[in-house]
Amino acid sequence: MKHITLRDLEVSRIGLGAMGMSQAYTGAGTDDAESLRTIHRALDLGVTFLDTAEIYGPYTNEELVGRALKGRRDQVVLATKFGLVSHADGGRRNVDSSPANIRTAVEGSLTRLGTDHIDLYYQHRVDPGTPIEETIGALAELVAQGKIRHIGLSEAGPDTIRRAHAVHPVTAVQSEYSLFTRDPEARVLPVLRELNIGFVPFSPLGRGFLTGAIRSTDQFDPTDFRAGNPRFSEENFAHNLRLADQVAAVATQVGATPAQVALAWLLAQGDDIAPIPGTKRVARIEENAAADTVHLTDDQLTELTGLPPAAGDTHNEAQMRMMER
């Protein structure tokens, strides 16, 4: 597995997102043993950039990752996120990046992850109620205390990124980016490159759609996040399925799988980009990690880049309002 540098943090260029092991997608939380095997297989394959968050579960995903890393903590770059659980508000799901909330959140994450430091600590969503300067100031104190090593933002817009970076260097921004979700290209990626900040695409497989494995929403159980997601709604599904089929056609030419092609396209967008595909299955981490060796020709890259946008927003209306674009 090749490595790249997000500003000053070296990571495997393909990481592993752990969210779906505990929430959001069909089957989450039903087979922790396979999830643990998946994390261990990832490490064996050199996929050492792990992504979790306080809100996943909440808490259970960090606990799972902490269990997986017993005795292997030094082998990974461990990233987690704060700011979607408000501890002053009884631990409710709520945007809260106040310094007091951060100081409480970090202690819980360190305990659940079984570590004395977090390598990359992201604000999960920008908090309109707390100036970003105050949030970054509190994070800079955690850096000085050695509790976190690097600071990240998620779904932050250009102005917030600039203001944050003026207080303390931001190492990486994590936002949705894939063949289905191209939004960061216009405004965010240019700012990141200007400031030498790395980029971590989340949901790089279009929440599974780009893998070709999803042919019908009947595959989702009622708790599946995608059942209520506009990309998977009845009106948009057929259009997006055709896009996934075009990715699959390129995969056939290459002799790779659609998931590998979706990841290889992202890797071709720059050496400052480290996607974190999510899976809870050993066979799929093996498949996704192998995208590192997939080569796309210039013609294939042009064809993929030229695909029309996916139909439907990436989130429902309430969630879209929490994202700066």
- Partners of 80 in the beta sheet? 121
Q: Is 25 a catalytic residue?
A: no
In whole angstroms, the minimum distance from the beta carbon of 144 to ligand NAP comes to 25
- On whether the CB atoms of residues 31 and 23 are closer than 8 A, the answer is no
Nearer to ligand NAP, 4 or 18 (CB): 18
| Of residues 78 and 276, the one with the C-beta less far from ligand NAP | 276
Residue 207 binds ligand NAP (CB under 6 A): yes
Per CB under 6 A, 41 contacts ligand NAP: no
Using the minimum distance from each CB to ligand NAP, give the nearer residue, 41 or 207: 207
Nearer to ligand NAP, 136 or 276 (CB): 276
Smallest gap from residue 26 Cβ to ligand NAP (A)? 7
Nearest-approach distance from CB 89 to ligand NAP, in angstroms: 20
User: Cα–Cα–Cα angle for 117, 23, 33, nearest 5°?
Assistant: 75
Long-range pairs, 63-66, Cβ under 8 A, ≥24: 63/112, 64/18, 64/21, 64/22, 64/32, 64/35, 64/36, 65/18, 65/39, 65/113, 66/112, 66/113, 66/114, 66/115
Binding-site size for ligand NAP (CB under 6 A) equals 30
CA-to-CA distance for 89 and 169, rounded, in angstroms? 30
Nearest to ligand NAP of 83, 158 (CB atom):
83
Which residue type is seen at 218?
D
Residue type, 246: Q
In the range 184-203, which residues lie near ligand NAP by CB under 6 A?
202-203
Rounded Cα gap, residues 173 and 80, in angstroms:
12
Site string for ligand NAP, 277-296 (x = CB under 6 A): xxxxx--x--xx--------
What is the number of alpha carbons within 13 Å of residue 74 lying toward its C-beta? 1
In this chain, which of 174, 181, 240, 300 binds ligand NAP, going by CB under 6 A?
174
- Residue 262 CB neighbours (<10 A): 30
User: From CA 93, how far away is CA 77, in angstroms rounded?
Assistant: 26
| 315 part of the interface to ligand NAP, by CB under 6 A | no
The SS3 of residue 231 is helix
- Out of 57, 66, 83, 206, the only residue in the binding site for ligand NAP (CB under 6 A) is 206
Q: Is 170 near ligand NAP (CB under 6 A)? A: no
Query: Is 135 a residue that touches ligand NAP (CB under 6 A)?
Result: no
Quick one: 98 or 260, whose CB is closer to ligand NAP?
260
Interface characters, 140-169, with ligand NAP (x: CB under 6 A): --------------xx--------------
Is the Cα torsion angle 213, 216, 221, 222 positive or negative in sign?
A: positive
CA distance 205 to 199: 16
Residue of 25, 56, 121, 177 with catalytic role:
56
Helix 282-289 × helix 258-267 angle, to 10°:
40
Does position 22 bind ligand NAP by CB under 6 A? Answer: no
Task: Give the catalytic positions in this structure.
Answer: 56
Task: List residues binding ligand NAP (CB under 6 A).
Answer: 17-20, 25, 27, 51, 124, 154-155, 174, 202-208, 211, 213, 259, 276-281, 284, 287-288
